[in-house]
Structures are given as C-alpha cells and as structure tokens.
C-alpha cells in the first residue's frame, strides 16, 4: 500500500471534515412527512410565467444566484450554504483541490464515497440512476438519493453532483424534505443550478 505524505494525510483529513460538514448541512429536521407518496427519480419540472429576482452569492471561484427568501452563508473554504428552513432545504456548493485524495478519484468513485458517507446518517437509504447536466458550461454527474434521517425520523430526498474545472473538483449537494422536493426544486434548486457560473 502506498504511504501518504504528511500533506496528503492532512488533505485527506480536511477533505473528510468538509464532507462531514456538508452532510451535517443537509440534515435538519422536525416536520412530519407522508411516506405514501411515491418517489420519482427526477424532479417534476413545471412551467413558470416569469423568473424571480435572484440575489447573487460570489465565492472565490464561482457565483450562484438564489431566491430572496433563501439565506446564504459562507462555509469552510470556498463553500456556500444556501438554505430555506421552512422546507429544511439546503443547497451547498464547495470545491476541493484536485491533489486531495478524494478529488484524485474519478467523478463516479468520488460520488460513491460521498454517498457511502451520506448513507451512514440515513435509514432506508436509496439511490437512483445518475443524470448528467450542463451547469456553468461544465458537465456534472449527479446521483439522486432518499432516506429517513436517523436523528429526526424525517424523510429527505436530495442529489449530489460533481465536476472538475480548472484544477478543482466541485461538489453540488442539495436536499429537502421528501414530499417537498419537487416544489423546492422548481422554486429554488433549479434556479440556483441555472444561475451557477464559474469565474474565468
């Protein structure tokens, strides 16, 4: 087995801490859910009459717009956490240097690692077929998931996506209460995906 240098070990620890932090950001819970509603793999898009005015969060390497009713805060490093507490909804974007151990994996391997870590916090954890989306001019790979949070008992649905751009691995992670996911996707997550841009 290849020995890791001190800097590689430190990056691995920082990467794991960041991923634990992202996982914690996606779990807040107190509301009841109706688990009898079947899950769809993809959110149901609905037509809108006009795009709402968005606020812009500017990070070091990217910008993202979000509805005015949502709250944005800076996380560790170049991470943004945009939340809507009423639906326990969180939209998180972060980056990892490509020399960090997780980022040296392929996108699919990296997503598998993230999903294993996510699974540890949920019962009845399920994943759905991956999808690809062009966001900020880059191809992202996403995997949808659902599960019942072990601490709160609330059922959540979410997705984790990843891409690599100019030497960095980017993670986009969002979730909400299971039964609210389609509405939150159309009213928030989709708008944030569409507005996301990398800085040149």
Q: Give tens-digit pLDDT for 68-91.
A: 999 999 988 889 999 999 999 999
Q: Is residue 169 part of a domain?
A: yes
Q: Are 144 and 128 in contact (CB under 8 A)?
A: yes
- Among 24-38, 57-71, 89-103, the range with the most confident prediction by mean pLDDT is 57-71
pLDDT tens figures, 40-55: 445 554 444 455 689 9
Q: Report which of 9, 200, 12, 3 is spatially closest to residue 105, judged by C-alpha positions.
A: 12
pTM (two decimals):
0.72
Tell me the pLDDT band of 102, cut-offs 50, 70 and 90: low
What CA–CA distance (Å, rounded) separates 188 from 150? 26
In sequence order, what DSSP letters do the residues of 113-177 get, joined into one string? HHHHHHHTTEEEEEE---EEEEETTEEEEEEEEEEEETTT--EEEEEEEEEEETTEEEEEEEEEE
CATH number of the domain residue 167 falls in: 3.40.1000.10
Q: Is residue 51 part of a domain?
A: no
Mean pLDDT of 181-188: 94
Q: Is residue 175 part of a domain?
A: yes
Q: Is residue 128 part of a domain?
A: yes
Q: Quote the domain boundaries for residue 70.
A: 6-30+56-198
pLDDT, residue 178, reads: 96
Q: Is residue 165 part of a domain?
A: yes
Q: What percent of the chain has pLDDT over 90?
A: 56
pLDDT, residue 129, reads: 87
pLDDT, residue 150, reads: 96
Mean pLDDT of 46-67: 80
Q: Are 162 and 135 in contact (CB under 8 A)?
A: no
Q: Is residue 39 part of a domain?
A: no
Minimum mean pLDDT range among 47-56, 100-109, 119-128: 47-56
Tally of domains within the chain: 1
Q: Is residue 35 part of a domain?
A: no
pLDDT, residue 105, reads: 80
Tell me the pLDDT band of 25, cut-offs 50, 70 and 90: very low
Q: Is residue 13 part of a domain?
A: yes
pLDDT, residue 92, reads: 96
């Amino acid at each position: 087995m290849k020995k890791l240098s001190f800097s590689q070990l430190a990056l691995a620890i920082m990467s794991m801490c960041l991923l634990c932090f992202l996982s914690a950001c996606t779990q807040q819970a107190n509301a009841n859910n109706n688990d009898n509603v079947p899950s769809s793999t993809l959110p149901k898009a609905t037509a809108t009459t006009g795009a709402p005015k968005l606020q812009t969060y500017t990070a070091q390497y990217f910008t993202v717009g979000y509805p005015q009713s949502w709250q944005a805060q800076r996380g560790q490093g170049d991470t943004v956490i945009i939340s809507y507490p009423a639906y326990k909804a969180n939209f998180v974007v972060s980056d990892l240097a490509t020399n960090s151990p997780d980022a040296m994996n392929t996108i699919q391997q990296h997503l598998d690692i993230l999903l294993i870590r996510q699974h540890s916090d949920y019962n009845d954890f399920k994943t759905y077929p991956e999808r690809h989306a062009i966001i900020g001019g880059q191809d992202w790979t996403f995997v949808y998931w659902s599960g019942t949070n072990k601490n709160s008992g609330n059922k959540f649905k979410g997705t984790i996506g990843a891409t690599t751009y100019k030497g960095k691995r980017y993670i986009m992670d969002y979730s909400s209460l299971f039964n609210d996911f389609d509405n939150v996707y159309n009213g928030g997550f989709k708008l944030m995906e569409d507005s996301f841009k990398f800085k040149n």
